[in-house]
Chains A and B, each alone.
Chain A
Amino acid sequence: MAYDKFEILKSTAVPLPIENVDTDQIIPARFLKATERKGFGDNLFRDWRYNPDNTPKEQFVLNNSIYKGKILIGGKNFGSGSSREHAAWAVYDYGFRCVVSSFFADIFRGNCLNIGVLPVQVSAEFLDKIFKAIEADPTIEIEIDLPKQTITLLVTGEQESFEINSYKKDNMLNGFDDIDYLTKMKEEIKDFAVKQPF
């Protein structure tokens, strides 16, 4: 098994109502020097979270103890820029299992799915509702139901469904990943390779 199974997640959420959050903000390049996958959560949103002298920036949401939970809610075009999977690792390592936005950058979305973080794309209207609901009451819970592919604001019962292809859904539900799949295809791949022009 490549990562933890994902079925139903019920949690409070952390709101980050900023658009175009790029992976350089999620984890700045100077923290990409490790050769092992550990400790990236400490530097999640490093330069938004800490001053140059490493004291916390009090106004940043991760430094506000009112907001916590396993769901991160981001503005439109979340995860743009660099392909660094370290961004998804940092999100996971910090403790998030799901990122909700009205639009995701392709590579970040793929990286999340490959490590067991569920990207949930909702409409701009629903995203706005979530931000407003959390603003009104940071303790409200959101339920992500992967088998049913729904996201629900439990306080009002408002719900939206989200897309995920059946292959990836099956992977998430069972904790499988693409490498598990591909390693079973080696002979087929070898036969294919022989026929390539170069």
Chain B
Amino acid sequence: MSTTLFDKVWDSHVVRKIKGGPDVLFIDRHLIHEVTSPVAFLGLKSRNNSVLFSERTFATADHNTPTINQHLPVEDPLSANQLKALEENSAEWGISHWGLGHQNNGIVHVVGPENGITLPGATIVCGDSHTSTHGAFGAIAFGIGTSEVEMVLSSQCIMQPKPKKMRISITGELGTGVTPKDVALFIISKLTTSGATGYFVEYAGDVFKQMSMEGRMTVCNLSIEMGARGGMIAPDEKTFEYVKGRPLAPKGSDWDKAMAYWETLSTDEDAVFDKELTFSASEIEPMITYGTNPGMGTGILNSIPNASEVEGGEATYKKSLDYMGFAEGEAMIGKSVDYVFIGSCTNGRIEDFRAFASIVKGRKKADNITAWLVPGSHIVEAKIKEEGLLDIFHDSGFVLREPGCSACLAMNDDKVPAGKVAVSTSNRNFEGRQGPGSKTLLASPLVAAATAVTGVVTDPRTLL
């Protein structure tokens, strides 16, 4: 029978099927961080359970860490306590732990792939919804709650009903200045934030084939923002090339064994999806959001739609524009901006910083802009230095911070003040996401860079 990539990976991980209930799904790789794991470890203890396979769980500190002076003690006592809990729990159970200052430390969805934890055909979970990132490798990867973190610690399994399958194909070639982030924001704007709820998405077609691994990670990362549990792309030579030689990737005969499995990982030609969508790359422009969910996005040259043009309730739509201080019909280009943030598990990889540098090179940061450049990991940070990007940033008046989730969710001090507008390469523009009262415009690293040097929302194509 013809099957999809998703079926192949899912079905090969089902330990038991429960009649009228979920599947018991084996988890190959489990990533944990300081915010959603402490209660899971408490639960483990209170039930007298132990960690079943400590070598399958990997800990990194990222959500709640400062992005300056990481060599000093963390000032906020609550944050310090969470970091200590992660370190102690990891030590107690023999789990690999990359704490603050460790050379491999960084955002969980950045360090997983760059260290070879993320593998094609694997099942990967983490107490973080952007775990969908790892689907770029042809893995089934999705976010879970803390109860499920405890399940994985104690049994290496979780219980999940099998999602429906959706394929999103994009044909053709992307235009100049149109990035993977724009592709994702475009899809979400078409589907809305609940359009893929209940589905697992496979991305297919020319655009994704041509896309770099980093770009694929950006797209899969944002799958959750259309409600999908996750998104995946069939592994190809580019994938294998990326994985090969990474510190924790299989080696020698293990590599050969893994390759034999990985080469089977594609959707059969006549396999059937529950839903199929196709778009043309030529429809996609550099995108920007104007509202308080990632589905409220549009081409950067467009104006804010009228309530009657969008799906959903008018009251909710107007509440959202009120929060932003925007009105229907206003142009997005030229809107005044106060902050620019480049980073996060969505756009905190080396390619994103290269894109940012390509625009700011030879230009100066606008005076009205406070810019936060936060690499996704120490490895990304090292590459930024190695490739000379740091010099470009310094010459243009930008400072590079230390790795972490930072202003994406603003658990640390990187908070956009109330009433201020940020152009952000992160993943969510919810009310107060980047700090109470903050206003977020989601966009690509190119749009962020163009905005950082002009001080207002700017089409990067005018500066390329």
Contact assessment for A35 and B119 in the assembled complex, using a CB-CB cutoff below 8 Å: no
List the count of A-B residue pairs having beta carbons below 8 Å apart: 207
Chain A contacts for B157, CB-based, 8 A: 182, 185, 189
Chain A 108-119, CB within 8 Å of chain B: the 1/0 string? 001100110000
Q: Is the C-beta of B331 less than 8 angstroms from some C-beta in chain A?
A: no
**B156 at interface by CB-CB < 8 Å:** yes
Residue interface bits B376-393, CB-to-A below 8 A is 1, else 0: 000000000000000000
Q: How far, in whole Å, are A153 and B146 apart by their CA atoms in the complex?
A: 34
B428 interface residue, CB < 8 Å from A? yes
Name the residue of chain B whose CB is nearest to the CB of A171.
B21
A185 touches B16 (CB 8 A): yes
Per a CB cutoff under 8 Å, which of A32, A166, A185 touches B20?
A166
Cross-interface CB contact of B78 among A34, A81, A83, A166, cutoff 8 Å:
A34
CB < 8 Å: which of A17, A77, A115, A182 contacts B151? Answer: A182
**CB-CB nearest in chain A for B22:** A167
B26 touches A193 (CB 8 A): yes
A106 CB to nearest B CB, Å: 6
- The answer to whether B144 touches A29, judged by C-beta atoms less than 8 angstroms apart, is no
Complex alpha-carbon distance, A179 and B159, angstroms: 9
Q: Give the total of B residues in contact with A, Cβ under 8 Å.
A: 81
Q: In angstroms, how far is the closest chain B Cβ from the Cβ of A76?
A: 7
Expressed in whole angstroms, the Cα–Cα distance for A35 and B37 within the complex equals 8
For chain A, the bracket of interface size reads 35 or more
Q: Choose one: B21, B158, B319, B431; the contact of A47 (CB below 8 Å).
A: B431
By secondary structure, the B interface counts as loop
Interface flag for B145 (CB, 8 Å): yes
8 A-B pairs (CB sep. < 8 Å): A19-B312, A20-B316, A80-B194, A80-B293, A81-B224, A85-B145, A179-B155, A189-B26
List the 7 closest pairs (A to B, CB-CB), nearest first. A167-B21, A85-B145, A166-B20, A83-B143, A33-B78, A111-B145, A35-B38
Given A84-B36, A177-B147, A183-B49, 12 more contacts at CB 8 Å? Answer: A22-B430, A29-B411, A34-B78, A35-B81, A75-B313, A88-B145, A107-B143, A166-B20, A185-B16, A185-B155, A185-B157, A189-B15
Partner-A contacts on B (CB < 8 A): 15-16, 18-22, 24, 26, 28, 35-36, 38-39, 42-43, 47, 49, 52-53, 63-64, 76, 78-79, 81-82, 85, 119, 121-122, 127-129, 131, 143-148, 150-151, 154-161, 163, 193-194, 197-198, 224, 227, 229, 250, 254, 257-258, 261, 293, 312-313, 315-316, 319, 409-411, 418, 428, 430-433, 436-437
